[in-house]
Structure formats: C-alpha cells, structure tokens
Amino acid sequence: MNQAQLSFTTHPADWLAEAMSQARERAIRAKTEAEAAVRAQAIWEKLASNVEKKRWFHIRAILEQEATFFHQLRESANSVVPHLEALYKQSKQHTEELLLQLPRDMEQMAEQHQLPLDRSQSRHPRYKFREGFITVEIDEQKRIARIKDYEERLAELPPDMEAIAEVLKREDQRLFGRSFDGEQFLRRLRKHYLAILKMNKQADGEPVPLRHIVRRIAHRERHFRRDEFLIDLSRLVVEGPAEVEGMRFDLQQTKDTEQGMLLYGPAGRGMVNLLIFRKER
C-alpha cells in the first residue's frame, strides 16, 4: 500500500483545530496574566519607592490614578487592603497640609539645592528660575507642578519638593551645563540660513525667520532641542563671534509672540524673529 492509499480513522482537521484553539486560548490567557503581573509589579514598585521617599503627593496620585487596580484587590479581600486604606488617609491629610506650606517649601527647596530662584519675579503659584527662563507653576486643585521654559514643556508631576528639585537640577544642567563653541554654532546657523535661501530662491543677505531655521535643524538633527538652541543663540549674541566667512549676523526684533523667540539673560532685550547675514565692511 502506498502513501496515497492511507486513510485516517478520524479526520485530522477536527482534532487539530480543537488543539490549536485550546493552545491559542491558553497563550492569550498566559499573556494577559503576564501583562497584569508586570503592571502590578510596576505599580507596587512605584508606590514603595515614593513611600520610602515620603513623597505624599506622588503616593496620593498613584493611589487615585490606579483606583481600578486597588479596587480589584479590595474585591478579592486581599490582606493588604487595610494598609492601603490607612496609607491613602495619611496621604490626603499630608497633602492638604503641604499645599498650605508650598510657598515656604519652594523657597527652602531652592536654597537647599542652590537652585537660582528669582524671588522678585516669583509669586505663588508661579515660581521663576534662571531669570525667568524656567517656570514652575503649581495647580493646587489638581495637585500638579508644571515645569516649562521659554520654548518647551519640561515636566508635569505631583508637587513634592524633592521631585521638583530633581527635575530642575537635571534641566538646569542640560541647558546651562553644556560647553559652547560660538564659532561652530555660528557656522551651523550660516549653513541652514543658506539652505533655506536656496530653497526659497532668495539672495544672500535676505532675512530668514528663526523658526524656519529651528524647524529645519529639528528635521535633520536627531537630538535637537529648541530650548538648547535658544540658549546657544543667546550666548552667541553676548559672547560672539559675530562674523563668519566675511558675513556678520544680525537679529531683527518683533512684537509677534507666536513667531518671535525671547532670548535669555543679557541678550534678551525683546523678541527676535529674523536672522540676517550682511557682508562685513
């Protein structure tokens, strides 16, 4: 008897389909359970970390944002539920008290971490750092601190002072702790300026919007940040050089807050929006 003449006592499609269906269901169930376990681990680790650091706003935020997860624990009569309820009660009490102390705590945090708080410009709920370049705004109703600078939103987090300090130190180092090569930055400006002129069929010396240069660099450079560009441009205005390849750069001012960029520090005497290179005389 050859292979073609062999026959099955039962058709394989039936039991194979059933086996595949059962295996698929087990795989889906296992995947769902694994994802739930990973998510639960992340929640517990985040909660434990903030309890250790006594970050009461973060603790309350986790307990409220993950309400579904903790509700499931309550329904399953998990032994940890009474401890969670006590912790939530504590977090509510402490956060209500801390909200009243925020102005004092913000000043103390800035002093303790040597962060450049501008006291003359700061009024609760807005606090200015680095001559107003960085702002921390407290939303008491939502218990959120929003941190931004002239160009970018930097962070949004519960307003525990140490957590805010961590963000401010990290961003301050990123923006102001970098080395600066004025000549290299000016050549970079010149290159993108000429590229935009060529694309628009304009002559050298005609004005180009700074925002167009920013967008072009962002499109071509992977790690480009607008606020870092603005700090470097501000340093270039103050420190120089002002001339490259016989061409001197100039910035034109504007009152258009949408198209303009407000330079930082001594360079920030108004909004600028146009970059021009003129032949050096």
Q: What is the pLDDT of residues 141-161, one digit of tens each?
A: 999 999 999 999 999 999 999
Angle, helices 226-239/210-220, rounded to nearest 10 degrees: 120
Q: Are residues 198 and 274 in the same domain?
A: yes
pTM: 0.86
Give dist(CA 256, CA 158) in Å, integer. 34
Q: Which of 57, 76, 95 is the last residue of a domain?
A: 95
Q: Are residues 76 and 144 in the same domain?
A: no
Q: Are residues 88 and 30 in the same domain?
A: yes
Q: Contacts from 140-143 at CB under 8 Å and sequence distance 24+?
A: 140/99, 140/102, 143/57, 143/60, 143/61, 143/95, 143/99
Q: Are residues 78 and 118 in the same domain?
A: no
Q: Are residues 120 and 204 in the same domain?
A: no
Domain presence at residue 252: yes
**pLDDT of amino acid 2:** 56
Q: Are residues 22 and 62 in the same domain?
A: yes
Q: Are residues 267 and 197 in the same domain?
A: yes
**pLDDT of amino acid 6:** 53
**pLDDT of amino acid 263:** 94
Q: Which of 60, 77, 95 is the last residue of a domain?
A: 95
| Whole-number Cα distances in Å, 168 to 117, 154, 155, 174 | 10, 9, 9, 10
**pLDDT of amino acid 10:** 59
Q: Look up tokens 């909660």; give the residue.
A: 47
Give dist(CA 64, CA 59) in Å, integer. 9
Domain presence at residue 158: yes
Q: Which residues in the chain come in under a pLDDT of 70?
A: 1-12, 281
Give dist(CA 193, CA 249) in Å, integer. 10
Domain presence at residue 3: no
User: 167, 202, 163, 187: which is closest to 249 by C-alpha?
Assistant: 187
Domain presence at residue 2: no
Domain presence at residue 161: yes
CB 253 within 8 A of CB 281: no
Host domain of residue 59: 13-95
3-state DSSP assignment of residue 214: helix
Q: Are residues 191 and 275 in the same domain?
A: yes
Domain presence at residue 1: no
Q: Are residues 138 and 168 in the same domain?
A: yes
Q: Which of 176, 191, 226 is the last residue of a domain?
A: 176
**Which runs of E-coded beta strand occur in 87-161?**
126-129, 134-139, 144-149, 153-157
Q: Are residues 188 and 215 in the same domain?
A: yes
Q: Are residues 32 and 74 in the same domain?
A: yes
Q: What is the chain's Cα-based Rg?
A: 29
Q: Look up tokens 């005497």; give the residue.
A: 269
Domain presence at residue 118: yes
Domain presence at residue 109: yes
Give dist(CA 72, CA 69) in Å, integer. 5
Q: Are residues 166 and 206 in the same domain?
A: no
- Total domain count, the chain: 3
Q: Look up tokens 């000549």; give the residue.
A: 183
User: 170, 237, 177, 180: which is closest to 210 by C-alpha?
Assistant: 237
**pLDDT of amino acid 8:** 53
